[in-house]
Amino acid sequence: MDTIYALATAQGKSGVAVVRVSGPLAWQSGIALAGVLPEPRRAGLRRLVDADGGYLDEALVLCFEEKHSFTGEAVVEFQLHGSIAVVRSVLTALKVQAGLRPAEPGEFTRRALENGRLDLTQVEGLADLIDSETESQRRQALRVLSGDLGRRVSDWRRDLIRAASLLEAVLDFADEDVPVDVTPEVLELITNVRAALELELSGFAGAERIRTGFEVAIVGAPNVGKSTLLNALAGREAAITSDVAGTTRDVIEVRMDIGGLAVTLLDTAGIRETHDRVEAIGVSRARDRAAAADLRVFLVEEGSELDMSPEADDLILESKGDLRNDGKGISGETGQGLDALISDIQERLSNKAGRASLVTRERHRQALEEGIFSLNVALPVVAEGPDRYDIAAEEIRVAIRRLSMLIGHVDVENLLDEIFSSFCLGK
């Protein structure tokens, strides 16, 4: 492989900047800039110079041997002063060295995958960790990055390989008497793996929402106080408020962190029958987004009825509590009831998140569903006896391939290009 280099920390001025070099010429490159390198995995303070002996910076230098670095290759890292000029000068000094080239987006991580340091689910966990904005996203990304899902997949594959090998052993000796009936063991293996896949799949919705964020729609009739409530929750004027009914005609979104969960609040158009074509489009969008949201907050005035049917977890609140004398209801104007509303939203979404699995992406869901489908086909075929073992073994092999794709062992080249294109340079 080529030897690659890049700035591994964010662009711009900072206290410290890290430049990483990875590949067969990494240590040679480090010697050219820093002279004698420190012992592997021990930092050493070194004076960096360019090819002409020009002083570049004083930096901490770290070296990693093959199989002991992030990429699995020989690596040198320079921890520089975070000046834009210093970083530029060091990158320029690397650029003129023979055999080195700038890294492409995600190339360090891709090499970690290709060298067996990470599986594909861990790569996705790393991407999610970099993008995490909330505590729940951070925790979930770390669980995936730790390799928990990959280890589970490896266990499932091992059991299915055992099941397929038992069937194939019978097929190999079809002309002889086989003293042991393998059917019970194969059925048990398939049944247990299928149950584990179904359990993991059942937590997909919660896990995906932790990663991408929950949606909470504020729903109600025109001029009931939805935009005022959104602004109060957001702490800023995110939506136009007016005493004119029908002011909000499109869905307004505000991103928030509620109890460590990423939540997008949706202010929707007032739901009512209207002959105004533009407002009617807004009402239609409001109904669609509200129906698709994870939770709905219905604002109603005393004595009025809901225009949509609430679901079990939805919240129904009486609006304009500041105009009441009994202390009931909620008000975006005065803040009455806001703390209780936030607490209720957090409780309901936390319950949904609590059922989350390690299956966080659509491709994970698809791989598990296809694996379950193949195992459902295989189970009754196995029960029919040795004459059908060849068909059952093939279905089990299909399930194994689906799980192999999940962790990046087969048929994922196009997928890799898509995943790594979202990584930043230096990662």
Residue 116 assigned as binding residue:
no
Residue 320 assigned as binding residue:
no
Q: What is the largest CA-CA distance in the chain?
A: 90
Is residue 48 within 8 A of residue 56, CB to CB? The reply is yes
Q: What is the pLDDT of residues 82-102, one digit of tens each?
A: 999 999 999 999 999 999 999
234 and 304 inside one domain: yes
Residue 334 assigned as binding residue:
no
Nearest to 378 by CA among 179, 183, 201, 202: 183
29 and 105 inside one domain: yes
331 and 277 inside one domain: yes
47 and 74 inside one domain: yes
Cβ neighbours for 113, distance < 8 A, ≥ 6 positions apart? 119, 120, 123, 408, 416
109 and 129 inside one domain: no
pLDDT (0 to 100) of residue 243: 47
Entry field: residues in the chain: 427
In angstroms, the CA 398 to CA 392 distance is 10
Specify if 136 maps to a domain.
yes
Residue 246 assigned as binding residue:
yes
60 and 130 inside one domain: no
Residue 134 assigned as binding residue:
no
Specify if 374 maps to a domain.
yes
Indicate the residue among 117, 135, 169 that finishes a domain. 117
Residue 408 assigned as binding residue:
no
CATH number at 157 reads 1.20.120.430
Beta bridge mates, 57: 48
Instruction: Among 46-50, 248-252, 310-314, name the one with the lowest average pLDDT.
Output: 248-252
Specify if 213 maps to a domain.
no
Specify if 414 maps to a domain.
yes
Residue 224 assigned as binding residue:
yes
15 and 112 inside one domain: yes
**What single letter denotes the amino acid at residue 273?**
E
Domain count across the chain: 3
Residue 205 assigned as binding residue:
no
Is residue 377 within 8 A of residue 383, CB to CB? The reply is no
Domain assignment of residue 8, given as a range: 3-117
The model's pTM? 0.76
Residue 397 assigned as binding residue:
no
Residue 427 assigned as binding residue:
yes
Residue 92 assigned as binding residue:
no
Specify if 217 maps to a domain.
no
Is residue 4 within 8 A of residue 73, CB to CB? The reply is no
Q: Give the full edge-to-edge strand order of the sheet including 252-258.
A: 252-258, 261-267, 214-220, 295-300, 315-318
103 and 168 inside one domain: no
Residue 245 assigned as binding residue:
yes
In angstroms, the CA 85 to CA 203 distance is 48
Would you say residue 418 has pLDDT above 60? no
CATH number at 104 reads 3.30.1360.120
Specify if 220 maps to a domain.
no
Residue 268 assigned as binding residue:
yes
**Confidence grade of residue 341 (pLDDT, cut at 50, 70, 90):** confident
Q: Which stretches within 107-182 are classed as H helix?
A: 107-114, 120-131, 135-145, 148-172
Would you say residue 327 has pLDDT above 80? no
Q: What is the pLDDT of residues 376-385, one digit of tens each?
A: 999 999 998 8
For 194-260, give the secondary structure using H, E and C: HHHHHHHHHCHHHHHHHHHCEEEEEEECCCCCHHHHHHHHHCCCCCCCCCCCCCCCCCEEEEEEECC
Nearest to 121 by CA among 365, 353, 352: 365
pLDDT (0 to 100) of residue 239: 52
Nearest to 50 by CA among 82, 79, 93: 93
Would you say residue 245 has pLDDT above 50? no
